[in-house]
Structure 1
Amino acid sequence: MIRLTLSLVLTTFLLLSCKSPEEPFTKKTYPVKGKIMVDGKEPDFPLQITCHNTGEIDTEHPTASGSISKRGGTFELSTYTTGDGIPPGDYVLTFVWKKFDVMSRSYTGPDKLNKRYDEPEKSDIKFSVVEGKPTDLGVIELTTK
């Protein structure tokens, strides 16, 4: 009887101690990709891309989405993990193109896009993400002039 009781207590303890912590709340995301061209050419340095929700802000579970363009100007927007996409909604993209300083691991210097696209009010790159559908933004033409 004592063995059975000890066995039950030990099993219960092990089950309770092995319980995984609650996962943080995550929204369903859908892939969004595109390509950036600047003055008709592929950019020689990565651009910082920030995604701004133009709809109602979710104050209970806010998200931040964006990306850094890859060589050749391609990008995939991310919210929780690299390339996972963004939640459904209406968005505007902002772009900043500065030189990456390897030593400080930060972007420095003037914006090569002359601050044309650095605020949501200035950018006309708008799109919607629909639940269940990937979004291809195609080629986005930006200018320094």
Structure 2
Amino acid sequence: MKFLISIGLVLIACVCVGCREGWQAATYPANGTVTVNGVAANGAVVTLYPIGAKVDVRNSRPWAIADQEGRFELQTYEAGDGAPIGEYNVTVTWPLDVTKMDLAMIDQLDGQFARPEQSQWKVEIQDGENLLPTIAIDGVKLQSKVQNTKKRRIPRGPEMERGQ
């Protein structure tokens, strides 16, 4: 009897693990570079929004934070896993300091590149390694002082509005 209970528990555990990961789409490595006014955009947040169908049931969005050289490596479900196959609009925000809550929502780019429906960049993720074209943002005046940017918080998408 104990043997049957043990087998039953193992089967339930296997099913639960499968359910947890069954909603995730296959991902492929994807990386690129982002610059602002010719300088590496350390701390810029790059987000991909699927064009057309959702990538999974949770409507996940691949994203990354640029390093000191402006390089980023996309992740969808875990660090560095990449992005699912498909076409995407790309948004870029550049928080004053992504590590501090009060400064993380203030976009130095004044929200100019934060709306996927207005994106000037489109990328396609394919099976295999994906090197994305450089995202070069030029000729923008940066919002660098907290007191001047209080009302310039990173815009929320329509799906993030209250009550939805």
Q: TM-score range by the shorter chain?
A: 0.7 to 0.9
| Mapped partners of 1:85, 1:41: distance in 2 | 24
Of the structure 1 ranges 93-102 and 79-88, higher mean CA displacement relative to structure 2 is found in: 93-102
Letter in 2 for 1:15: I
Deviation at 1:11, TM superposition (A): 1.1
| Counterpart residue number, 2:96 | 99
| Counterpart residue number, 2:59 | 62
State the SS of the aligned residue for 1:11: helix
Q: TM-score, normalised by structure 1?
A: 0.80
1:73 to 2:44 alignment:
no
- Give the gaps of 5 or more residues in structure 2: 142-164
- Give the gaps of 5 or more residues in structure 1: 1-8
1:128 to 2:120 alignment:
no
| Mapped partners of 1:101, 1:28: distance in 2 | 28
Q: Please list the CA deviations of residues 53-79 of structure 1 after superposition, one character each: whole Å capped at 9, or x if unmatched.
A: 112236745322211112211111111
Deviation at 1:93, TM superposition (A): 0.8
| Mapped partners of 1:103, 1:136: distance in 2 | 30
Give the counterpart of 1:82 among 75, 79, 82: 79
Q: Which has the larger strand fraction?
A: 1
Q: Please list the CA deviations of residues 17-63 of structure 1 after superposition, one character each: whole Å capped at 9, or x if unmatched.
A: 233223322211111100111111112x4011211011223674532
Change (3 A) 1:97 1:86: same
Indicate the RMSD between aligned Cα atoms, in angstroms. 2.2
| Mapped partners of 1:102, 1:57: distance in 2 | 29
Give the counterpart of 1:11 among 3, 24, 46: 3
| Mapped partners of 1:123, 1:83: distance in 2 | 24
Q: Who wins on radius of gyration, i.e. which is larger?
A: 1
Change (3 A) 1:121 1:101: closer
Contact 2:55 2:84 (C-alpha < 8 Å) held by counterparts: no
Count of residue pairs brought into register by the alignment: 134
